[in-house]
Amino acid sequence: MPPRDPNTDQKRPVFLDLRRIRFPPQAIASIAHRLTGVLMILAILPATWLFAISLSGPAGFARAGEVLTGIPARLAGLLLALALAHHLFAGIRYLLLDIDIGINRVTARRSALLVMGLAVIAGLGLWWGLWA
């Protein structure tokens, strides 16, 4: 019998029980990198709208300020600050991995945890700095 080809074999074993798969920090950082990217893509159009009204004149500039200090913008700002911080730090980690820095499993695990810790601290700090 020829060996099974894992790409075409329809009877290959598949294990996708999400409750029982264990996600190492590297996997969580990777999924978070995607989620935060998508979140920031969603913010591009609203941000462009804010940019537009802020430059439409002194009244528009004041209006943009009001929108930004409202509760919805504060909440969105918190999410986006955390997203930006994570995406930036995780991105730097990937650029380093690209050039083989921190590529071994133990280091990669530690750097993934470091990225997530730094992201929470820097994200909250950024939000605090911008809105408090």
Partner 1 sequence: MSGLSAWLIQRLSALYLAGFTVYALVRLAMAESFSHAAWSDWLAAPLNAVTLWLAALALLLHAWVGGRDVLLDYVHPLGLRVVMLTILAGWLLGSGIWFGAILLEVM
95 makes contact with partner 1 (CB under 8 A): yes
38 makes contact with partner 1 (CB under 8 A): yes
132 makes contact with partner 1 (CB under 8 A): no
103 makes contact with partner 1 (CB under 8 A): no
Sign of the torsion formed by the C-alpha atoms of 60, 64, 65 and 70: positive
DSSP summary character for residue 55:
T
117 makes contact with partner 1 (CB under 8 A): no
DSSP summary character for residue 7:
T
106 makes contact with partner 1 (CB under 8 A): no
State the Cα–Cα distance between residues 35 and 7, nearest whole angstrom: 27
CA distance readout (Å), 10 to 17, 23, 33, 57, 101: 18, 25, 31, 63, 38
Given the rule CB under 8 A, which residues bind partner 1? 34, 37-38, 40-41, 44-45, 47-48, 51-52, 54-55, 57-58, 60-61, 65, 84, 88, 91-92, 95, 98, 126, 129-130
